[in-house]
Structure 1
Amino acid sequence: MFLRTTLLLLTSLCTITLRSSAQSLRIRLQDKQAQPVIGATLRLTDPADTTRHLYELTDTLGLATFQATTGKTYWLRATSVGFIPLQKVVQAGPKALTFRMDPENIMLQGVSVTAARPLVKQEDDKTIVDPEPIAATSTSAYEIMEKTPGVFLDPDGNVYLSSTNPATIYINGREQKLSASDMASILKSLPPNSISRIEILRTPSARYDASGSGGIVNIVLKKGVNIGLTGSVNAGVNQGRFGNQFAGVNINSMRNGRTAYLNLNFTNRNSYEQIQTNRRFSPDSVLRQDAYTTTPGQVLYVGYGLGFAPSRRWDINFDGRFSWNQANAEATNANQISRVSTGRLIADNLNTVDNRNRILSFNQGFTTSLKLDTVGSELTTDVSYGFIGTRGVQDFSTRYIQPEGQTTVGDGSFTNQRHLIAAQVDLKYKLTPDLTLETGAKTTVQLFTSDAAYFNVVGQTRLPSRARTNQYDYHENINAAYVQVSKPFGAFLLKGGVRLENTNMDGRQYVPADTTFKIRRTDLFPYVFLSRKLVEIAGYELRSYLVYRRSITRPAYEYLNPFAQYVDQYLYQAGNPSLRPQFTENFEANISVEDRPLFAIGRNYTTDIFTSVVYQDPANRSIAYRTYDNLGTNRETYFRVLGVIPPVGRYFFLASAQYNYNDYMGTYENQPLRFQRGSWSFFTFHSYKIDKRSTATLNAFFRTRGQLQFYELSNFGALNLSVNRKFMQDKLLVTLTANDLLFTNYYQFALQQGSVQANGLRRNDTRRFGLTVRYNFGMRKREERTNMFNVDTPTQ
């Protein structure tokens, strides 16, 4: 009742304020014959605050109306298919302003049109990456993420924007709340040409969940937003040690205000991973392990959506994704224990594991958008349901070579299901033409169940394995509300807000023992964003940003469950029921030019930081266990820089660098801990237009003195090349690719903390050569060209 009354009061106040302070600015567009230009897109920008725009479409009379201040000057840009973009400086007044749009002498057919689009750009507190140049050299969204500047994926599927905490993954603005392995499976099922853009939010506003201590990566999928019927058919292969094959079709339609899209894709893939580890048991004994795993699988993906606008104020969308994944894994692990002083082999055995998993995932969303006025006020709702279910069977064995012993064998099966229901409502209201209120509420409910039954075979008898069998349920409910306001003050734009989150977590393990826990807590998370125009050089605007944010990282159930899970006879893992959530405060300052990021410097200060740690079993030094622990505090200082050479003739060049320095202070195995390490990450992208139909691209990254929690990594990187050419009136695009050409995307690692000393090597099947063919059909809307930070890429 209180919320409803408040919204009514705000609505009334806004209506009175807008009526008293704003007048209409009417723009009429005509062609050479003085006929109205229907459906043109108009953008109105206030020169005093170029980060905010108003948009309108012309009606059947070629007329568009904005709410503007009488006598004030604005920048107007108008675009329409078949016409040259129009740019004017206009002044709001009582009379309608009429402009003529000149035709563009280009025949649009069922072809792919080359368009210049920004590879990387900055919008307030988020960086937007156009994946199009990278998609041609990738077979899945996972590979695109690996090649995205400023993003690092570890071999377990975690995504990092910094080197401390994993980022939170969103798809279409919705948090997925999946484990790293499940999220990696989803990303590998998404075809590369299904992604419209990637949004990187290192310091998200109060509108977003406070759980993103490592930032947010939002993957926005393509929808049916083109005129008429368009689409593409694509197929490709690539070969490393193993081969991948994929094929798919995309169909988009927009007719009479209704949009629809359908994306079908099938992938057959295989890869390998090799991990070699040396771990000291004592000063004179070492365990050497060499694990080799192949991961064959097949993925069927379906993406679909419908959208319609019953009126100019309403927009309703219904979208979903479905994937079926047959993911297998065949692993062998050779284990040898030797004396360091003599080199004598003490023990030698071989573990084999065969996994056969079936993964079904489904996500359905329903969104509505209601325009409350013509100055940008909007009410949106989003309701979604997601499901991911896994069924798997496993066969395992250990053959004892020295000393010789009887081979042990066993098998098991497991099922787990995860349901996620989320509902949110967001209100953006213009209290005055330059004062914006944003508020909203959100609730999420997550239900997770897991049931695993394992057996050891002794002779001809199958006996239950207590070391592996478990059954548990986990329920999570997070309720949130936020409010934030933004207002320009002269050359400054200030946005500030606060988010309130109530957390409820319940976990219970039934087998082999009850490890019930409950967490109830409520926290506040402030957010402040300040931007200012610095200077204008050669027509390009330089703007600075300052951001502050507080966030939380909550331990998931698998981090809290104390039951010991068997990995092999030398390693097990267990949760920590006393694990506390960690809080992070982030401060960042950055500079951009024409919304393109140039430089940023910041610091993350994290308290009660928890991370994966490895301890030696005090009862048996040959056994180690992996768990999670609160280690103290961490100060991470970082800076980023990005530079470009504008397109000069046929060539475009971009390069970026990021430096992270971490300083941990706390305790490890009840001993004082001080861990300091700095690392560099470099990224570059080159594009060369060979002729009108052929383009060569190069992208590469290089990481020096890398860090993955307390693991120190050696230098590693990758060089990727591609050449594409268009045929058949530019409808057919053929691309040749070479990924990780020099086979340098692997690293050595070292861990020296407390009583654990280990080092090793980790590599994957990353060097691949491939061929992709894509055929485009239908009519395309011509893309807009912008400024010097753009790169020519073929649209799909």
Structure 2
Amino acid sequence: MKNIYVLLFFTYSTFLYSQNDTIKKDSIILKEVILISESKIKLKQDKGKYIANVINTDFQRTQNTWEGLKLIPMLRVNDNEGLKVKFKNAIVEINGNQIQLSGFELESYLKSLDPKTIKRIEILSNPNASYGSEIEAVINILLSQNSNNYRLASNVTNGTRKKYFNSSNINLNYNLEKLKLYSSYSFNYNQKVNESEIISQTGNNPFLKFDYNENTYQKNHQYYVNLNYEINKNNAIDITTTSSFHESSGNGLGENTNFRRVLETNSNNKKIQLAEIYNYSFNDSTFLKIGAYQVFNTTESSNFATTNTTSIENQKVVSKIPLIVGFGDFSKSTKIGEITIGTRLNFTSINKDNFSIDSNLENNNPYNYNEKIISTYFNNSLIITEKASLSLGLRLESSFINYKFSDTNNIILLEDNLNYSNLLYNINYMYSSEKEWHHAIAFRKQIQRPNYSYLNPFLNLNSDITYFSGDTKIQPSKLFSFNYEVLKKNWSLYIQTGMINDFISTFTDQVDNKIVETYKNFDTVLLSGFGFEYNPTLIKKIWYSRINFDFTYFKIKDKNYPNIKESSPNTTIEVSNIFKIKNYQLNLKYNLTPTYRDGLYKHFQTQRLDFTISKKINNNLSLFIYAYDILKTNINWEETTLTNYFYSSKNYNDQRTFGLSLRWNITGKAYTKNEIEKIEDNTIDRL
């Protein structure tokens, strides 16, 4: 009940004070230009995307860019869960260049970015045809690149969950007239203690119930260098390299009076990404962009488990996944709008050695997967009127796949060739009414490709008593969707509906009396969702609030699983408040997700309350004190919904966190403060 009272207090306070807020913003209006004296973050609609200018806003007062993104409208940023634009998974670009990082690596990288080096954030909730078809949304982070300027900054974070952890980074931003350099290094040391209650039942076996506790240790080094050289006013080269080195180890113990299982895991991962992009400007209306990406990912992991001291399992997996991408874009502004024509070539290869060790004999189950993707696309962005624009896109993608898997002694051999093509489209119409309502309507067909590293049928030790196995004949998902968005001042509303054929998901199943988390296709999924944001200023320059409400519903249909239970809606309520008094700032955030079923799992209620207190000590030094999941209610509890077996995991993933962070930076004497950018009068006031 205490948590519900907290939610009601935040919600009631937000609506109560918003009704009495009659103070107008201090602004100067000159030829449809507004200069805002407050540090609120604003959104601007522009050619199919939303722009948040963050210079001199609360964004630049946060610990790091990851924390700053939590203040951006439309974004859903949750630790350990990635980034979303509303409920769409999002990729991240830096200065328009995609970084091939995900999960922990992406979060770690964004935490290394000094928010004071960020110029603006661009959000594409409906990416055009020049983006890969599997991309649902894009967050583009643009760095400030003022000439004759350097900024050196460091950030040190210390804290404790059940055990101590540390995160440190240093970054350098150095810009000359033609040369721009951004580099960063970060180090993370993490210790976690995960506590679970496990219940399972397979076949005619009795129910098995036990407690499972797992200790994990992680170390991560990450480097990032971006170099932009302007040869002349028409030619520029952009080179980026990202490297990460991650090692982890863990030990788990599951037991009851009649059962004891010990699990040990160790892994090492090395990832190197290179990107080279050449931009050429023929004139003010014609541009050419040519580039390439190379990603080299190597992982070696070993798993060892004993059950009741008699059953012993010993595994080792060595994985090498290179990804090579080349692309070319040609764009030209014409009387019928801006036209972009491009092509993209992807080459992906997976080479995995799956070793199982029995009585000191090592058996290998090798798996090899190769895919070539050829894409061509056409996009036309047309300005219809001063307040309306239309984007039309077509994309043709063809894939050529071959794979081979053999089990121990080559008893079973899986080998096949898969070739397929898809014609995709994207229609996005944005317009503003005279009363400053901002609308966006989009129709889209896209495909979502599988996670390459999951395409492996080898039974891999996962956690507690579960295994993981992929499906080699998995097909990309085909998504047909309709989206509508409307924004005005402190309000925004979105609606989405659609259908997915060959839906891809992980799913817990029973295989030979084992609980196996599989990765596979399902026939059809119907989806719908809507939500809103409300962002009032409750007390001018002191108290800002934000309420998010999201509703999603998925209905799964699959002929192989006729007994899947009916889904139920998934709703999420999130309330954020910012209080600013002199050099102090308090950020308070509460999140509630009630129990729901998505057709595959039943997910039980989760809650979370976080706060951060920051103090600007001087122009170069800031202090942050934070506490996450204060009430210790963010419990990951889910169970299967099928009737022929049962598996339930109630897990607390060591989320409660207390700590402090120091951020220090120095700026070159030649540095000139950014001038306040001119912002057109179609901006939308946001938190």
**TM-score category, normalised to shorter length:** 0.7 to 0.9
Q: Which of 592, 613, 616 is the aligned partner of 1:723?
A: 613
Corresponding letter in the other structure for 1:719: L
Q: Which of 266, 280, 286 is the aligned partner of 2:207?
A: 286
CA distance in 2, matches of 1:273, 1:656: 29
Q: Does 1:627 align with 2:518?
A: yes
Counterpart residue number, 1:530: 429
Q: State whether residues 668 and 754 of structure 1, in contact with CA within 8 Å, keep that contact through their aligned partners in structure 2.
A: no
Q: Does 1:204 align with 2:127?
A: yes
Q: What pairs up with 1:704-723 in 2 under 5 angstroms?
A: 704-706=594-596, 710-723=600-613
Q: Does 1:417 align with 2:329?
A: no
Counterpart residue number, 1:755: 644
Q: State whether residues 115 and 784 of structure 1, in contact with CA within 8 Å, keep that contact through their aligned partners in structure 2.
A: no
Q: What pairs up with 1:61-460 in 2 under 5 angstroms?
A: 87-88=30-31, 116=39, 118=41, 123=46, 125-126=48-49, 141=66, 150-151=75-76, 173=96, 183-188=103-108, 190-193=110-113, 196=118, 201-212=124-135, 215-218=136-139, 220=141, 222=143, 224-225=145-146, 227-281=148-202, 285-334=206-255, 347-353=258-264, 355-374=265-284, 376-394=285-303, 396-400=304-308, 406-409=309-312, 411-432=314-335, 435-457=337-359
CA distance in 1, matches of 2:571, 2:124: 20
Q: State whether residues 189 and 300 of structure 1, in contact with CA within 8 Å, keep that contact through their aligned partners in structure 2.
A: no
CA distance in 2, matches of 1:440, 1:448: 27
C-alpha offsets along residues 37-63 of structure 1, whole Å, 9 cap, x if unaligned? Answer: xxxxxxxxxxxxxxxxxxxxxxxxxxx
Q: State whether residues 738 and 769 of structure 1, in contact with CA within 8 Å, keep that contact through their aligned partners in structure 2.
A: yes
CA distance in 2, matches of 1:495, 1:298: 45
Distance 1:171 1:288, change over 3 A: farther
Distance 1:152 1:255, change over 3 A: closer
Q: State whether residues 147 and 176 of structure 2, in contact with CA within 8 Å, keep that contact through their aligned partners in structure 1.
A: no
CA distance in 2, matches of 1:294, 1:130: 42
Q: Which of 361, 369, 385 is the aligned partner of 1:463?
A: 361
Distance 1:245 1:473, change over 3 A: same
Distance 1:140 1:428, change over 3 A: closer
Q: CA deviation at 1:524?
A: 0.3
Q: State whether residues 665 and 675 of structure 1, in contact with CA within 8 Å, keep that contact through their aligned partners in structure 2.
A: no
C-alpha offsets along residues 591-614 of structure 1, whole Å, 9 cap, x if unaligned? Answer: 1237x8711111121123232223
Counterpart residue number, 2:7: none
Distance 1:633 1:288, change over 3 A: same
CA distance in 1, matches of 2:199, 2:547: 37
CA distance in 1, matches of 2:541, 2:226: 40
Distance 1:226 1:238, change over 3 A: farther
Distance 1:207 1:733, change over 3 A: same
Counterpart residue number, 2:449: 554
CA distance in 1, matches of 2:86, 2:676: 33
CA distance in 1, matches of 2:52, 2:548: 13
CA distance in 2, matches of 1:704, 1:568: 26
Corresponding letter in the other structure for 2:470: G
Q: TM-score, normalised by structure 2?
A: 0.83
Distance 1:721 1:673, change over 3 A: closer
CA distance in 1, matches of 2:673, 2:345: 38
CA distance in 1, matches of 2:250, 2:234: 51
Corresponding letter in the other structure for 1:288: K
Counterpart residue number, 2:576: 685
Q: Does 1:746 align with 2:635?
A: yes
Counterpart residue number, 2:552: 660
Q: State whether residues 367 and 456 of structure 2, in contact with CA within 8 Å, keep that contact through their aligned partners in structure 1.
A: no
Q: Which of 504, 509, 525 is the aligned partner of 1:610?
A: 504
C-alpha offsets along residues 404-431 of structure 1, whole Å, 9 cap, x if unaligned? Answer: xx54445444322221111112222111
The count of corresponding residues between Structure 1 and Structure 2 is 642
Q: State whether residues 189 and 299 of structure 1, in contact with CA within 8 Å, keep that contact through their aligned partners in structure 2.
A: no
Corresponding letter in the other structure for 2:306: T
Q: CA deviation at 1:689?
A: 1.4
Corresponding letter in the other structure for 1:210: S
Q: State whether residues 162 and 660 of structure 1, in contact with CA within 8 Å, keep that contact through their aligned partners in structure 2.
A: no
Distance 1:126 1:710, change over 3 A: farther
C-alpha offsets along residues 295-330 of structure 1, whole Å, 9 cap, x if unaligned? Answer: 212222221122122222223221221222222222
C-alpha offsets along residues 196-227 of structure 1, whole Å, 9 cap, x if unaligned? Answer: 46655443221111123xx1344637465565
Q: Which of 630-639 and 410-419 deviates more? A: 410-419
Q: Which of 386, 392, 395 is the aligned partner of 1:496?
A: 392
Unpaired runs of at least 5, structure 2: 1-26
Q: CA deviation at 1:500?
A: 0.5
Distance 1:586 1:129, change over 3 A: farther
CA distance in 2, matches of 1:764, 1:268: 16
Name the SS for the 2:372 alignment partner. Answer: strand
Name the SS for the 1:689 alignment partner. Answer: strand
Counterpart residue number, 2:16: none
CA distance in 2, matches of 1:141, 1:244: 18
Q: CA deviation at 1:560?
A: 4.9
Q: CA deviation at 1:546?
A: 0.6
Distance 1:675 1:579, change over 3 A: farther
Q: CA deviation at 1:616?
A: 2.8
Q: What pairs up with 1:756-771 in 2 under 5 angstroms?
A: 756-771=645-660
Q: Does 1:506 align with 2:429?
A: no
Name the SS for the 1:516 alignment partner. Answer: strand
Q: Which of 525-534 and 675-684 deviates more? A: 675-684
Corresponding letter in the other structure for 1:471: P
Q: Which of 217-226 and 705-714 deviates more? A: 217-226
Q: CA deviation at 1:150?
A: 4.7
Q: CA deviation at 1:548?
A: 0.7
Q: Which of 429, 434, 437 is the aligned partner of 1:542?
A: 437
CA distance in 2, matches of 1:159, 1:584: 20
Q: State whether residues 666 and 672 of structure 1, in contact with CA within 8 Å, keep that contact through their aligned partners in structure 2.
A: no
CA distance in 1, matches of 2:428, 2:648: 43
Name the SS for the 1:116 alignment partner. Answer: coil
CA distance in 1, matches of 2:577, 2:536: 10
CA distance in 2, matches of 1:566, 1:142: 34
Counterpart residue number, 2:622: 733
Corresponding letter in the other structure for 1:703: T
Distance 1:682 1:373, change over 3 A: farther
Q: State whether residues 359 and 389 of structure 1, in contact with CA within 8 Å, keep that contact through their aligned partners in structure 2.
A: yes
CA distance in 1, matches of 2:169, 2:38: 24
Q: CA deviation at 1:285?
A: 2.3
Q: CA deviation at 1:168?
A: 5.6
CA distance in 1, matches of 2:222, 2:437: 43
Name the SS for the 1:675 alignment partner. Answer: coil
Name the SS for the 2:482 alignment partner. Answer: strand
Corresponding letter in the other structure for 1:448: I
Counterpart residue number, 2:474: 579
